[in-house]
Chains A and B, each alone.
Chain A
Amino acid sequence: AQTVTQSQPEMSVQEAETVTLSCTYDTSESDYYLFWYKQPPSRQMILVIRQEAYKQQNATENRFSVNFQKAAKSFSLKISDSQLGDAAMYFCAYRLNRDDKIIFGKGTRLHILP
């Protein structure tokens, strides 16, 4: 069975600094999608970034980028120039194919220190 592990329950970063959230996953499949979702205190889950496993190039969305290491089954999220609005729970997630369910990790709570 596929699993997603986030080993950092909480992290803190100074405003304007860079932080990296870790995620590892377990799968025997080769074609899948990986996601990072952000859930602010209002609880509406928002997609931050998405990576297709067949793409070697790491996905980037403005200040958010990933380090996708397929062989190591690692998918970390880097947030550059952290802002107060980045404070939230961040969930790493895996999806086998476009018709299958998403499996979420337990999340990492990110605090931004002013």
Chain B
Amino acid sequence: EAGVAQSPRYKIIEKRQSVAFWCNPISGHATLYWYQQILGQGPKLLIQFQNNGVVDDSQLPKDRFSAERLKGVDSTLKIQPAKLEDSAVYLCASELNYQETQYFGPGTRLLVL
């Protein structure tokens, strides 16, 4: 079974630029999560999708972050404009509906200069 795929693996941008991350969950997984992991901390949930609907985006900085999951499969997370404090690893995870195990992708490491 293929795992959660993410791209790019690394990205370096300057502040105020835009950036987008892509996630392809495990086939058949209805629930998809985006996490932000700042160095030295545990992952923090940004947004949760159930199929193509948003379940929880309470911790998403909506003035600069946006996410979508078209057709309930792939998802993109965008930051516009980026700030220095956005430097982090962005993790995508997926989960088979009504299961308790989240499967994580390798993450995208973002550095904002």
For chain A, give the interface size range. 20 to 34
Q: Contacting B89 at CB < 8 Å: which of A43, A47, A106, A107?
A: A43
For residue A4, give the distance in angstroms from its CB to the closest CB of chain B. 8
Nearest residue, chain B, Cβ from A97: B100
**Residue of B42, B43, B55, B102 most packed against chain A (CB within 10 A):** B42
For residue A45, give the distance in angstroms from its CB to the closest CB of chain B. 4
Provide the bound-state CA to CA distance between A45 and B103, in Å: 8
Q: What residues of A have a CB within 8 angstroms of the CB of B40 in the complex?
A: 106-107
Provide the bound-state CA to CA distance between A47 and B103, in Å: 8
Is A68 part of the contact surface with B, judged by Cβ < 8 Å?
no
Q: What residues of B have a CB within 8 angstroms of the CB of A104 in the complex?
A: 42-44
Which of B13-21, B63-71, B73-81, B104-112 lies at the binding interface?
A: B104-112
Known A42-B106, A44-B106: A93·B100 in contact at CB below 8 Å: no
**Residue of A46, A91, A93, A99 most packed against chain B (CB within 10 A):** A99
